[in-house]
Structure 1
Amino acid sequence: MPDVTTSVRRRAFLLWAVAALAYAVDLGTKLAVVAKLEGRTTVSVLGDWLVLRVQRNPGAAFGMGAATTIVFTLVATAVVVVVIRYSRRLASAPWAVAFGLLLGGALGNLTDRVFRAPGDFQGAVVDFIAVRDFSVMNLADWAITGGCALALLLSFRSSPMTGTAGASDAGAPGAREA
């Protein structure tokens, strides 16, 4: 049976691997669509239900808060800090995946806000996946959404977020009775 330290390291490694993959795929797709699609007509993927269309978004989902870009930059930074803080205390692989998706997505959009025009931590996020009658998003947004959905599911299942999986959490705040 692996010791607790090895299990913690494996979960932390899983979190960082998922985050790195989500970030790399998001960054790569944004670079590709800006180079190949920006300023061009939409590309149909599934008729008019799903198209690729480059759009710069200074705000949040659905174009909300376009005048408060710096707030979203600070929120993304806070998410990154919190995930890093919890990364060594996650109790399970599913929580590591959820936090990895959140971290990778937050870093993807934070990169846009820091480095894209107009700059100074107020850059517009590159969105390009347009779902009819819904929204235009990017893969960072989908990673964040997937991470939040998984975290919500784990919470509803009362899966402990932090601690040491398999170790006794008796007496810990929020510990469940057997």
Structure 2
Amino acid sequence: MRYRLLLWAALAAFLIDQISKYLVVHVMRVADGNIDVLPPLLVFKYGENRGINFGLFQGNTDAAGWALIGVSMVIAIGVLIWLMRTAPSKLILVCGGLLIGGALGNVVDRLLYGYVLDFLNMSCCGINNPFVFNLADVFIFAGAIGLVLFEGKKAS
């Protein structure tokens, strides 16, 4: 079955995201203080994101949280339906899986905590980036960019 690649990519993105959050937030206890990994390029910094990527559209109400869960699910299901109605390349299936797995990782956070756990902060070249994000955000972004860049390309 060709769509196994989609499933495996989604599962890998989801598990990597959830395991990384568990390790950094609950085991390394980043909420107790920042962890310099490769400062300033990479710092683990605790964040609770009640909005979308980079803290945009912050909403502290239950309704806002459920709306964001709904939007994430609609996008994930939409991408899945679109991929199943076409003859996507293997690369497109992986990109779609990354996007879906990342979206589901953030949905699980909202269901468990009421917000998305973020812990990655990257700054460089004298620019202090105040935003934190997580690996699900990276997978969503990479998957979406890949779907745009590689759609229609023959990379089976």
Say if 1:26 and 1:79 are closer, same or farther in 2 by CA, change over 3 A.
Answer: same
TM-aligned CA deviation for residue 47 of structure 1: 1.5
Per-residue CA shift, 1:96-121, capped at 9, x if unaligned? Answer: 011000110000001011121xxxxx
After superposition, give the CA deviation of every residue in 1:130-153 in whole Å (9 maximum; x if it has no partner).
012343110100000110111121
Stretches of structure 1 that go unaligned for 5 or more consecutive residues are 1-8, 117-122, 166-178
Q: CA RMSD in A?
A: 1.8
Distance 1:37 1:129 in 2: 13
Match of residue 45, structure 1, among 33, 37, 40? 37
> Which structure features the higher share of helix residues?
2
- Tell me which residue corresponds to 1:57: 49
1:130 matched to 2:126: no
Aligned equivalents of 1:152, 1:86: Cα separation in 2: 13
Alignment partners' CA distance in 2, 1:71 and 1:131: 29
1:143 maps to 139
Select the residue among 3, 10, 20 that pairs with 2:11: 20
- TM-score normalised to structure 2 length: 0.84
Sequence identity, in percent?
31
Deviates more, 1:48-57 or 1:32-41: 32-41
Does residue 1:114 correspond to 2:111, yes or no? yes
**Partners of 2:30 and 2:83 in 1: how far apart?**
36
Shift of 1:87: 4.2
Q: Does the 8 Å contact 2:25/2:119 carry over to 1?
A: no
Deviation at 1:69, TM superposition (A): 2.7
Determine if contact 1:15/1:87 at 8 Å carries over to the other structure: no
Runs of 4+ in 1 over 6 A off after TM superposition: none
Separation in 2, partners of 1:152, 1:91: 12
| Paired position in structure 2 for 1:4 | none
**1:92 and 2:89 matched:** yes
Kindly name which structure, 1 or 2, has the bigger radius of gyration based on alpha carbons: 1
Structure 2 alignment gaps of length 5 or more: none
Please say if residues 31 and 45 of structure 2, whose CA atoms lie closer than 8 Å, have aligned partners that are also in contact. Answer: no
1:33 and 2:24 aligned:
yes
